[in-house]
Amino acid sequence: MRALILETLYEWSKVPYQKFWKRTDPWNISASDFLKYPVNSLGFQLGCFLLKHSFEIQPKLENHDVYHVLTGTGISVPEEVSMQYYLMGNGKRSLYLYAVIALGTVLYPDEFGRFRKSYQRGRSALTFHQLDFLKLLKQPMDTLKTAFLIQ
């Protein structure tokens, strides 16, 4: 039930968030286009992630899926909340992030240990949340993870 609450709120808020708050341009790349990047690259790994989960890239929300790939975070609701904790630890600040963390913490108090560890992992990494990932799609994943101390 608690997962349904957060998933429903996400679906209701996604379009207004994309339209009114996100100032970035959409990448206009399909999931299959990512598979044309070198096998060890961020772009290729992003394509694998999207296809594995039967996702399409969401316009203006592309970074979200990149965060999943870079941090190795899964897609369950507690894992989504955990990733927001990671990003907060990494210095990201947004109303949307705070809302997910607040609701996720209230709905999943039993996961707080995981959330705290994710926050610490984000603090341990060098700040990467603000990067222009579109320009980094050809970069090797290992290089990015090493350069930014992403565990």
pTM for this prediction? 0.88
CA 72 – CA 59 distance, rounded (Å): 21
Burial of 104 (0-12, 13-18, 19+ CB in 10 A): buried
Q: Which pLDDT score, from 0 to 100, does residue 148 have?
A: 98
pLDDT (mean) for 41-49 = 98
At 61-93, the pLDDT tens digits run: 899 999 999 999 999 999 999 999 999 999 999
The pair of structure tokens assigned to 5 is 């609450």
> How many Cα atoms occupy the beta-carbon half-sphere of 30 within 13 Å?
2
Distance CA 101, CA 114 (A): 13
42, 3 Cβ separation under 8 angstroms: no
